[in-house]
A and B are shown apart, each in its own frame.
Chain A
Amino acid sequence: MENMIDIIGSLITLLGAIFIFLGSLGIVRMPDSFNRMQTGTKASTLGTILTLLGLGIIVPSWFGKVFILIMFVMITNPVSSHTLARAAHFVGIKLSDKTVSDILADDEKNKKEE
């Protein structure tokens, strides 16, 4: 029974590692800076959380420190990604050709006209 719990935790860790790998693959393959930012940050955050959670299931006495790390990653990673995306928009990076709408640029244009 205990062995079964270990295998379940290691499979969760493997799922997190697959998410991290797919996020890095998206960083190489995506056509645009903002697309790269989206795939990199979301997939790698989920992958890190799943990896730490699986290790916490395998070794239950580590769960407190693992929980602190999970909360830390959940708080800091979106903040840094948001700041980076804002800087990338205002420094004038071009969007890819397939972009449908850019609401922030439309808002700024409306504000200037007023």
Chain B
Amino acid sequence: MVNIILYTAGALIIIGMLLSLWRFLKGPHIVDRVLAFDVMTVSSIALIALIAFFNNRIIYMDVALVYGLLSFTGVLVIARYIEKGL
């Protein structure tokens, strides 16, 4: 029962990531692409946590933490670059 509900949650997160990938490919402006990238990264933190539960390894949570840190830095740098140049 628990596994079925968690698999459904993972499938919903993957469908959401595919939808934001569509906006990432199509988006009319750079801001839309960066926004879609940010949403994809935040959903993939949840997906990595689900994978850590399925494989029963807590070390994957550290991967999610470092991934979120890198994405945060990347979005900040790109936003400053769009606003006034590096």
| A residues lining the B interface (CB < 8 Å) | 6-7, 9-11, 13-14, 16-18, 20-21, 23-25, 27-28, 33, 36-37, 40-41, 44-45, 47-48, 51-52, 55, 58-59, 62, 65-66, 68-69, 72-73, 76-77, 79-81, 83-84, 86-88, 90-91, 93
Contact = CB atoms under 8 A, between A and B. Distances in A.
Contacts of A62: 58, 61
A108 B56 CA distance: 54
B29 A33 contact: yes
Contacts, number: 161
A21 B31 contact: no
Nearest to B64: A69
A80 B38 contact: yes
A20 B44 CA distance: 10
30 contacts: A7-B1, A10-B9, A11-B5, A14-B6, A14-B12, A16-B9, A17-B10, A21-B16, A24-B17, A24-B20, A24-B39, A28-B20, A41-B38, A44-B42, A48-B42, A48-B46, A51-B9, A55-B49, A62-B58, A66-B49, A69-B49, A69-B61, A69-B65, A77-B72, A80-B75, A83-B76, A84-B75, A87-B82, A91-B31, A91-B82
Contact of A84 (B38, B45, B46, B61): B38
